[in-house]
Structure 1
Amino acid sequence: MSIVIRHAEPGDFEAVQGIFEAPEAIAGTLQVPFPSAEAWRKLLAEQQPGGKILLATIDGRVVGQIGIHTVARPRRSHVGYIGMAVHDEWHHQGVGSALLQAAISLADNWLHLLRLELTVYTDNEVAVRLYKKHGFFIEGTHRAYALRDGKYVDAYAMARIHPNPPNIASHRPARKRRAASGGR
């Protein structure tokens, strides 16, 4: 089984809609059940500048997606926010890991993002482990973050900082001291 990661195209809207029709996938996101095909078509056709949607395919079938969305505010332009879903039939088969690796590589090497952020429900232990495996850490807990199946559930705020960031102030080499001028 080979997982291929590629950019989402407008024609992929039905396949992406299919991911979010799966009960476990929908329960792990902020989407509501019964997604509209038209809404997904519009989202894929009108992707925002700086945003990327990647798909995981196996034998040509779309089995997962991840979106990287950048922050428009100038002082947070170094931040990307990710959201991911894997079709229920393809859980625990490396799809999420492949999507996450591709998104991290894109963020680190091409989008000049220092920080990636995400939210994940606290009871989604498999996803929390996956994110930690890829360098994310829990920054805090949002209480009653979202309504899911009639109950308010908590979510973790997680983030990952680029491990070897270019041009970061806290990683500057020590300043050279000026030589003392003997006559002062």
Structure 2
Amino acid sequence: MGEKVDVVIREAVPKDAEGILAHLSSTALETGYMTMGEEGPGITVEEEQEQLAKLYESDNNVLLVALIDGKIVGTASIHGSSSPKLKHIGEVGIVIAKEYWGFGLGTTMMEELIYWANEQSKLKRLELTVQARNKKARHLYEKLGFQLEAIMPRGVRDNGEYLDVCLMSMMIGEIDETSRT
């Protein structure tokens, strides 16, 4: 484990749009773990601002940002569908700048997402995909209660190589909240 850093974690607001897009663009090039590459997010600052504003109207979507000295160094999100038959499922995504790996930031952000999901009443299932080779991320998700559901052969292609992807899930309302730190 690395040294401690002072970090602020809060819900994203429209004025964070530029910082979020810059964070996603830079982290997309740090590892081969993201589905995005050098093409970047493919969205304008104005479009991101509109999306962030809509998050507050939704009961199954949230985007958290982690800031160190005012700079966004991490994002964690739950994206839920607007379809009535799928509205109870939230897709989890998390992106931490490589420079801040090993500080426990991923754990803290995931715990905050799980807490948020348990506090609001719409979501009953969280799910995520992670490359099978990303052992640290898989360990984190398992530690927090996610279960492996499937391994999808050739789930992603990176630098011409097909890689396996794991589908993991957690049922909301079935975890022990006393374990939250």
- Shorter-chain TM range is 0.7 to 0.9
1:41-91 C-alpha deviation (Å, 9 max, x unpaired) = 423422453421110112322110011111223232221111110011111
TM-score, length basis structure 2 = 0.80
Identity, % of aligned positions: 27
Q: Which runs of 4+ in 1 moved over 6 A?
A: none
Per-residue displacement from partner, 1:128-154 (whole Å, max 9, x unpaired)? 001011110110011111222222211
Greater mean deviation of Cα atoms: 138-147 or 72-81: 72-81
Q: Give how far 1:92 is off.
A: 1.1
Tell me how far apart the structure 2 counterparts of residues 79 and 150 of structure 1 sit (CA, whole Å). 32
Partner residue, 1:16: 20
For residues 15 and 37 of structure 1, the distance between their equivalents in structure 2, rounded to whole angstroms, comes to: 14
| Mapped pair 1:73 → 2:83 | yes
Query: 2:104, 2:88 → 1: CA distance?
Result: 28
Matched, 1:84 2:132: no
**Cα distance in 1, alignment partners of residues 92 and 45 from structure 2:** 17
* Conservation of the 8 A alpha-carbon contact between 1:136 and 1:159: yes
Whether contact under 8 Å (1:6, 1:56) holds in the other structure is yes
Larger Rg, first or second structure (1 or 2): 1
Cα RMSD (Å): 2.1
Give yes or no for the alignment of 1:96 onto 2:100: no
Residue number in structure 2 paired with 1:173: none
C-alpha contact 2:62 2:78 (8 A) present in aligned 1: yes
C-alpha contact (below 8 Å) 2:87/2:122 kept by paired residues: no
| Maintained 8 Å contact 1:119/1:155 | yes
What SS class does the counterpart of residue 85 from structure 2 fall into? helix
Describe the shift of the 1:164–1:144 C-alpha distance in structure 2 as closer, same or farther (beyond 3 A).
Answer: closer
| Residue of structure 1 in register with 2:47 after alignment | 42
> Does residue 127 of the first structure (1) align with residue 137 of the second (2)?
yes
**1:119 CA drift (Å):** 0.2
**Long gaps (5+) in structure 2:** 176-181
Give the paired residue count: 164
2:20 partner amino acid: V
Structure 2 residue 150 is matched with structure 1 residue 148: no
User: Normalised by the size of structure 1, how large is the TM-score?
Assistant: 0.79
User: CA separation of 1:126/1:44 partners in 2, compared to 1, >3 Å: closer, same or farther?
Assistant: farther
